[in-house]
Structure 1
Amino acid sequence: MASVRLDNVRKVYGNGQVAVHGASFDIRDGELMVLVGPSGCGKSTLLRMIAGLEEISAGTVAIGERVVNDVAPKDRDIAMVFQSYALYPHMTVAENLAFGLKLRKHDKATIEKRIAAAAQTLGLAEMLGKLPREMSGGQRQRVALGRALVREPSVFLLDEPLSNLDAKLRHSVRTEIARLHRQLGTTMVYVTHDQVEAMTLGQRIVVLKDGQIQQIDTPMALYERPANLFVAGFLGSPAMNVLTGVLQRQDGLRLRLDNGTGLPMGQAQVPESWLGRRIALGVRPEHLQPDGSGDAAFSARIDVIEPVGNEVFVNLDLAGMPLVSRVSPRALPAIGESLPMALDSAHLHYFDTDSGLRLER
């Protein structure tokens, strides 16, 4: 096992495009770190620079105590799992697992021992004689994981390994990866564009946008205290509601929305210096609830109702501005009718409309 350290790592392509702008962070020994962000944000480029598959334009990458900028991928003591299974179709599971070990000249006894251990860990013991075409997508991905596992590397690098699986298989293999990490305690760097994967797998998460790090923290810290509007909107499903307007004190604290509607904020506490300031107000769907009482109540029109089993997403229209509320299953007015709502004033988020940065009360 080993830690990974990135110090001001940059990637600039020949045409001048900057893919990664000075990324610096540490991945602790035995940690599962997730790199997350939309397509083109630089997450896979960062992973490939750690692996040695992409040249580093500036900065340093260290695995353990060794700077590996000029070390060949095969000598970095890493194992990588890609989005594509990349299994040899003419080889059995056992032969696929053994292939990399044979190239490294391991003896037969070591190869058999590692294959047996990986097969037992990943539930592949009964499939060692099968060819990839005889297996499901989830089973093939487990073989791809096993091929990395038998290497016994210091660091596992996983580049969107679940993207080709359906929803049920994604959940199953995601659980498998989390269990595998707990069992092995090996350092893992996991790339995904799926915020649910990031939140459920990562011990810490690096959120990226346009090649720049937006925030690094634990999943719940990111959810509860996003550093900026991008993180606030990216993590969470449904996304955080964001309303822009001017803070006013008129029959209590209100946000005068851009469309002229006054949104009551109840007992929310803000500095007096914020009054008259234009801000972005964020509220998670679970903190926007049907409630016609109190000084934070207002009415919005029901636009769409989405029942998803144990909860219901209520899409609302507040004078032309969309809102989403997450509620427990209950009887609701019909679509097009008005629904009394209220903000939970203890769980509001404030952002600067120009910079997008979080405002601290």
Structure 2
Amino acid sequence: MASVQLDQVRKVYDNGQVAVQGATFQVADGELMVLVGPSGCGKSTLLRMIAGLEQISGGTLKIGERVVNEVAPKDRDIAMVFQSYALYPHMTVAENLAFGLKLRKHDKATIQARVKAAAETLGLTSMLDKLPKAMSGGQRQRVALGRALVREPAVFLLDEPLSNLDAKLRTSVRTEIARLHRQLGTTMIYVTHDQVEAMTLGQRIVVLKDGQIQQIDTPMALYDRPANLFVAGFLGSPAMNVLRGTAAAQGLQLETGVLVPWNGAAPAAARVGRSLIVGVRPEDLHLAEPGAPGSFAATIETVEPVGNEIFVHLRVGTLALIARVAPRTLPAVGEPIGLQLAAGRLHCFDPADERRLDA
């Protein structure tokens, strides 16, 4: 096992495109760090630079105490799991697991012991004689994980390994990866565009946009105190509601002319006359009787019951909002309803640079 340190790491392609701009962070020994962001944000490029598959344009990359900027991928003591399973179709599971070890000239006893241990860990023991074509997508992904596992590397790199799986398999394999990390205690860096994967897997998360790091923190710290509007909107499902307007003593005067009452003490950043963006998580937008104190009027557009909770899509003039509520009897679609902001649970951002305002 080893730590991974990046100091102002950059990637600039020959055409001048800057894919990664000065990435600086450290993955602790034994930590599971997730890199997350939309397509094209530079997360996979960053992972490939750590793996040695992309040349670093600037900065320093260390694995353990060794600078590896110019070290070949095979000498970095890393193992990588790709989005595609990349299994050899003519080889059995056992042969796929053993292939990398054979290339590295390990003796037969070591190969057998590592293959057996990996198969037991991943529940593949009964499938060792199967070919990949006889297996499900989740089973193939476990084989791909096992092929990295037998290497016993210092660092695991996982590049969107669940993207090709259906929703049920994604959940089960995600749980498998979390269990493996707890069991092995190995340093892992996991790339995904799925914020649910990031929130459930990562001990810490690096949020990227346009090649720049936006924020690094634990999942709940990112959710509760996003550094800017992008992080606030990217993490959380359904996404955060965004209200734009001007702060008044009584509430936020929306650009559409509607006054949204503070429903309690105004946020510290809400100085009267200040232009403001206010973010409200769906669970912090409460339904009320029409005309209730501290409420504003809305119309129900759609109701989505998902079992243990309900997503209520609402319209306030031209503004679309969504509330997350417990199962209950709701007014019919098209009927008016009151909405209240949860006091003390609002997120304020500066309209100029979209950074968080705390005071």
Query: TM-score normalised to the size of structure 2?
Result: 0.98
- Preserved CA contact (<8 Å) 2:267 2:344: no
Map of 1:204 onto structure 2: 204
- Preserved CA contact (<8 Å) 1:281 1:348: yes
Map of 1:151 onto structure 2: 151
CA deviation digits over 1:284-319, x for unaligned, max 9? 000011123864212210011111111100000011
The alignment status of 1:238 with 2:202, answered yes or no, reads no
Write out the 4+ residue segments of structure 1 that deviate beyond 4 Å after TM superposition.
Answer: none
- Aligned with 1:350 (options 348, 351, 357): 348
The alignment status of 1:286 with 2:283, answered yes or no, reads yes
- Write the distance in 2 (CA, Å) between the matches of 1:184 and 1:286: 36
Map of 2:8 onto structure 1: 8
- Write the distance in 2 (CA, Å) between the matches of 1:203 and 1:144: 23
User: Which amino acid in structure 2 is aligned with residue 230 of structure 1?
Assistant: F
The alignment status of 1:247 with 2:247, answered yes or no, reads yes
Residue aligned with 1:346, SS: coil
Residue aligned with 2:356, SS: coil
Residue aligned with 2:248, SS: strand
CA deviation digits over 1:153-198, x for unaligned, max 9? 0000000000000000000000000000000000000000000000
1:119-138 superposed matches below 5 A: 119-138=119-138
Residue aligned with 2:59, SS: strand
- Write the distance in 1 (CA, Å) between the matches of 2:267 and 2:122: 52
- Write the distance in 2 (CA, Å) between the matches of 1:322 and 1:282: 13
How many residues align structurally?
358
Offset, 1:52: 0.2
Cα 1:272–1:37 change in 2 (3 A) is: closer
Offset, 1:346: 1.3
Map of 1:301 onto structure 2: 299
Offset, 1:270: 3.4
1:180-219 superposed matches below 5 A: 180-219=180-219
Unaligned runs of 5+ in 2: none
- Write the distance in 1 (CA, Å) between the matches of 2:307 and 2:356: 34
Report which stretch shifted further, 176-185 or 266-275: 266-275
- Write the distance in 2 (CA, Å) between the matches of 1:215 and 1:132: 40
Map of 1:277 onto structure 2: 274
Map of 1:329 onto structure 2: 327
- Write the distance in 2 (CA, Å) between the matches of 1:218 and 1:149: 26
User: Which amino acid in structure 2 is aligned with residue 143 of structure 1?
Assistant: V
Offset, 1:146: 0.1
Residue aligned with 1:335, SS: coil
User: Which amino acid in structure 1 is aligned with residue 307 of structure 2?
Assistant: G
- Preserved CA contact (<8 Å) 1:240 1:283: yes
User: Which amino acid in structure 2 is aligned with residue 313 of structure 1?
Assistant: F
User: Which amino acid in structure 2 is aligned with residue 305 of structure 1?
Assistant: V
Offset, 1:219: 0.3
- Write the distance in 1 (CA, Å) between the matches of 2:280 and 2:218: 20
- Preserved CA contact (<8 Å) 1:255 1:265: yes
Offset, 1:260: 0.7
- Write the distance in 2 (CA, Å) between the matches of 1:104 and 1:270: 61
- Preserved CA contact (<8 Å) 1:28 1:187: yes
Residue aligned with 1:356, SS: coil
The alignment status of 1:268 with 2:265, answered yes or no, reads yes
Map of 1:339 onto structure 2: 337
User: Which amino acid in structure 2 is aligned with residue 139 of structure 1?
Assistant: Q
User: Which amino acid in structure 2 is aligned with residue 336 of structure 1?
Assistant: G
- Preserved CA contact (<8 Å) 1:266 1:294: no
Offset, 1:119: 0.2
Query: TM-score normalised to the size of structure 1?
Result: 0.98
- Write the distance in 1 (CA, Å) between the matches of 2:92 and 2:128: 6
- Preserved CA contact (<8 Å) 2:11 2:19: yes
Map of 1:103 onto structure 2: 103
1:10-25 superposed matches below 5 A: 10-25=10-25
- Write the distance in 1 (CA, Å) between the matches of 2:121 and 2:154: 18
- Write the distance in 2 (CA, Å) between the matches of 1:24 and 1:296: 45
Identity %: 72
- Write the distance in 2 (CA, Å) between the matches of 1:269 and 1:216: 28
- Write the distance in 2 (CA, Å) between the matches of 1:216 and 1:171: 24
Offset, 1:273: 7.5
- Preserved CA contact (<8 Å) 1:315 1:322: yes
Report which stretch shifted further, 339-348 or 220-229: 339-348
CA deviation digits over 1:187-217, x for unaligned, max 9? 0000000000000000000000000000000
